[in-house]
A and B are shown apart, each in its own frame.
Chain A
Amino acid sequence: MARSRQQLGQRNGGSGRAPSGSNASFIDPATLVRIKNLQLRAKVVVEGFFSGLHRSPYHGFSVEFSEYRQYTAGDDLRYLDWKLFARSDRYYIKRFEDETNLRCYLLVDLSRSMGFGSVGYDKAEYARTTAATFAYFLSLQRDAVGLVTFDERIQDYLPARFRPGHLHRVMMGLEHAVAGKSTNLQLPLEQIARTAAKRGMIVLISDMLAPIEAIESQLGYLRSRGHEAVVMRVLDPAEVDFGFDQPAMFQDLESGREMYIDPAATRDEYRRRFEEHAAGLDRVCNQLGIDLYSLSTDRPVEFALFDLLNSRMHRGRQASRQTGQRAAATGGGGL
């Protein structure tokens, strides 16, 4: 548990630090976004990631045995472990992690607030690259990938599939420009709730710059259907530390509202309120059991992939542990 808590802390507080300590072997995102083709960009990330992982992913997420369960009448005999039956003369049903059939939905926020960027490219570009990387990575694993881009309404919706050409459509779907006046999570989540009958994984890539109350009610949807949910929060460094120095008319990208801001006078106040918001978001995600990762746009995209895999592994272990505990409680033998 201590380890998991440590992992949680690392996850939620992650703001640019590479897990391996150095990001020298990773590609600078500013260089990466110069690659115009989104698929190529994803490929570069994923393959670089593999080379640094020292572990072949081609075996990693293959069909993996997870637990045994005592046979009860009506179970499919195909999953009976005959070898175990030969050894122990008991009927056990083998259970596998249903990973090959993972259905992953990428929810990418392309509202105008994502159009902000102080490092040469905007948050939307970073989010696109991240989403493309995930999609490429998952399609390599023959997982079904779906895509929902949204702002205040749904821009594009692609159901989770694995078939030739689908990846290309996902890439095309990501090419949308930023639009919309606000971020509304409700609609895409309702859409997924309506269409995705099978449980899957939902990766929300957004800046989550909305009042905590609204986010709380909307994120509830993510978990209500039992989906596994990950929130990748994309933030620009300027949004975190508010590093402006000249007074200016600050214009809200979504509402267009202008406000005279003297950064010197308001910086502390801003940071305080931002931290409060971040803490609120963390609390909400904890309550709902949603993994929250912060992605700073000046961090290499590979870290996002790390975060995703971390989340997966954490989930898998958590799930297997929970299953083991449940099996022990019911009196069933476990390994």
Chain B
Amino acid sequence: MSVLVPLYLAGLGALSLPVLFHLIRRTPRGHQPFSTLLFLSPSPPRLTRRSRLDHWLLLLLRAAALALLALAFARPFFRASAVLSLEQLAGRRVAIVLDTSASMRRSDLWPQALAHAERTIKELGPNDDVALVTFDEHAQTIVDFERPGEPPTRDKPNLVRQQLKSLGPSWRSTDLGSALVSVATELDSAVEEAESIAEPQIVLITDLQSGSRVEDLQAYEWPSQVPVVVHAVRASKSSNASALLLTDTEQATEDDDSRVRVINAADSTAEQFFVRWQSADGRLAADESLPVHVPAGQSRVVRLKRPSELTADRIELIGDDDVFDNLHFVVPPRIETLPVVYIGNDSPTDPEGPRYYMEIAWADDALRQVELHTLTDDKAANPDEGGDEERASSESEAASDSRGGKPNLTWSELSTLRPKAVVVTGALSATMQERLRNFAESGGLLLLAPLSREAAATHAALFDGVEVIAPDSEAAEGDSTAEATESRDSDVEQTAGGRRGYRLLAEIDFSHPLFQPFSNPRYNDFTAIHFWRHRRLRLEDDSPFQTLARFDNGDPAILEQALGDGRGILFTSGWHPADSQLALSSKFVPLMQLLLDQAAGGKLVRSSVAVGESLALPAWKSRANVVNARRVRTVTKPDKTIVRLTSDATNFDDTDQPGLYELRSDEETYLFAVNLDASESNTAPLDVGQLEQAGVRLGTEITQAERRDRLRQQRDKELEDRQQVWRWLIVAALGILMLETGLASRAARQTNQPTEATS
């Protein structure tokens, strides 16, 4: 027999009380009021020896009742086996959750973390199961728990040890909340499914930095049976600051000052820092570093002059102990050059011609320079005759390109420049048609705006399923008036004659990338633009053309057709004043810029992402979706490893380290910067209490001996609960007390009777 709460046995000391009371004749209970005690002196209470002899049965009963009560409170039980070995201990399921975020790169945090993990593994009992989970931005299970039904893994602790050796901190940010939630959910569900008595436990090894995200814990009801033991590793020297470029690189020009924010962590001991530009080769970008004084826990914004002579691509911060976040990478601004070929006879200075307006629309762009090369339509019509005399004789030959200032070249010369787009207004020869078709099929953009019906016919020959029709047939249908037939250009429909009649754009496809920016109701009013003339086309029923816009009489206005990898866009009416008011409207410049965007083949949406973030790749947003499809693209990481992208990849996810990445396709090279998540620099320690506030049940690590003791106690309690000897003891005590009461009252009656008789 054993007792659960031995301290209550001290109550047996109360056994002396009845003995004492029996020795002392009790002071009488009766009170006698008396007028004065003036003549009285107190009588001493008398000890009588006979009382013990008289009431020995009562004494025994009272002592027995007290002893039974004390025993009952001590919760006795009968124990079968007293010893408990380690092997009998129920196994634990210990999940070692290891922080591998970038902040673990600080000083000696990683060795500390490994030491903690090793200590946890050593403490494992023979029945314990262990899993290893690392987390930074996402949790990753390295070694899993044993599953029911699967063969048990042999020597699991050693497996975990080996895995730990191959691990190292990453550059990603810390999402502590989601990692804890996922591990706890798994442990909890495993407990429920297996109905196992193995107690789950999470051993969290982390630097508990303030930048850790714990929001996921807020919405999660933490399972009560999963305790978390937190081993927080701390850096010996703690001062950390980071620099962040605020200016948008695309807007920055070389002589601009860049605004840099310097953030100092809350627990930093240093306050004086320096920031400077740095280049990839490690040369100092600026002679002087800019001193910045930032008190701990605060941030300052300073202006840092961007050096002009160097290709500075990173900002370095000097002055803190933890250097893992001291570089901030910036893509150096780059001006893109777009070679475009213009085939047409009009002069760049002629305000009546379409080219004049086109050049103006493309002129004002800081980051994109259009290199316009002219190929006269004569030459285009007779490409084989290409020679110096024709270059001199051509009207437009004399006009050199206003941007590049280059003389006219032959097509073969031009094709080496890899033009992005070809704009055609004049007629094309059969050879030129063939060349342009090849150009388009290899991914180029054809922009066709025929000035005449003949030119339109040669343009239409490039496409399938379209033919140019005469306006007569249209006039015969009664749409045109008699004046229309008298028009000087009988090959086009001249609506309502002269400037009196006009067509408007209707049925615009605002879902197309060309018109999508206009889809907002504030900008989608095209009714102010009058079209005087347009070339009439008839589309076959199964035409592959996509009609982007129609006139109000149903004639197509802007058409698009995919040609191989490239596309052709056909305007049936020009933008110059002779055809329409389009060039004079506010829609013209954005429309031409959008066309240029299409020609450039897209660009990076963002030039800078955080580590672990995915980058949207530039892609042709055509419905045909064929432009980039067959291209081979690679990404070169900062450590010079090359990642080949699949043909249908739309995102690049492998941003696992900070630095400058190079995205290279056949023709294009994009640079983008990957930087550490700003929250990772917030290395001030997080209070463990915040986890508790979020509902996490914190536990303490206990040794095996402690566990054994605790388990024994638990088992004792169960035994005691089952046997419940104390109830019987209480019942016995009550019975004895009742007996004692009866005996005592009888004794009292016996003693009273003689006194009454005497009185």
Contacts and interface: CB of A to CB of B under 8 A. Distances in A.
B194 interface: no
A116 B41 contact: no
A209 B41 contact: no
A248 interface: yes
B34 interface: yes
Interface string A225-256: 00000000000100100001111111111110
A115 B755 CA distance: 28
Nearest to A254: B36
A262 interface: yes
Contact of B28 (A247, A270, A277): A247
A247 B38 CA distance: 18
B32 interface: yes
A261 B46 CA distance: 11
A265 B37 contact: no
B31 A248 contact: yes
Nearest to A122: B35
Contacts of A253: 33-36
Contacts of B41: 259, 266, 269
A27 B159 CA distance: 116
A114 B30 CA distance: 21
B42 interface: yes
B82 interface: no
A252 B39 contact: no
Nearest to A269: B41
Place the interface of chain B in its size category: 20 to 34
B28 A260 contact: yes
A246 B33 contact: no
Contacts of A207: 35
Given A211-B38, A259-B37, A248 B759 contact: no
A87 B755 CA distance: 81
A114 B41 CA distance: 21
B43 A247 contact: yes
A248 B31 CA distance: 6
A311 to B, nearest CB: 25
A123 interface: yes
B35 A250 contact: no
- B interface, over-half SS: loop
A260 B31 CA distance: 9
A115 B759 CA distance: 25
B33 A260 contact: no
Interface in A180-217: 207, 209-211
B35 A251 contact: no
Given A249-B27, A260-B27, A260-B45, A244 B40 contact: no
A113 interface: yes
B28 A252 contact: no
Nearest to B34: A250
B221 to A, nearest CB: 64
Place the interface of chain A in its size category: 35 or more
A209 B28 contact: no
B34 A273 contact: no
Given A113-B35, A248-B28, A251-B31, A265 B43 contact: yes
A273 B35 CA distance: 15
A144 B266 CA distance: 100
A251 B36 contact: no
A317 B41 CA distance: 45
B742 to A, nearest CB: 25
A285 B35 CA distance: 22
Given A260-B42, A261-B42, A262-B43, A114 B35 contact: yes
Given A260-B43, A266-B40, A249 B35 contact: no
A162 interface: no
A316 to B, nearest CB: 35
Question: Among B27, B40, B755, which residue has the most Cβ atoms of chain A within 10 A?
Answer: B40
A34 interface: no
Given A246-B755, A249-B27, A260-B27, A274 B32 contact: no
A213 to B, nearest CB: 12
Interface string B18-34: 00000000011011111
Contacts of A277: 38-39
Contact of A209 (B27, B31, B33, B36): B36
Given A246-B28, A248-B28, A260-B27, A116 B43 contact: no
Contacts of A252: 34-37
A273 B36 CA distance: 12
Contacts of B755: 245-246
A250 B38 contact: no
B39 A249 contact: no
Contact of A270 (B39, B758, B759): B39
A59 interface: no
B759 A245 contact: yes
A259 B35 contact: no
Question: Among B28, B32, B36, B41, which residue has the most Cβ atoms of chain A within 10 A?
Answer: B36
11 contacts: A113-B36, A116-B34, A245-B759, A248-B31, A251-B32, A253-B36, A260-B42, A260-B45, A265-B43, A266-B43, A277-B39
Given A246-B28, A249-B31, A274-B39, 6 more contacts: A123-B35, A248-B28, A250-B32, A251-B32, A260-B45, A266-B41
Interface of B: 27-28, 30-43, 45-46, 755, 758-759
Q: Nearest 5 pairs between A and B by C-beta?
A: A116-B35, A262-B43, A273-B39, A248-B32, A113-B35
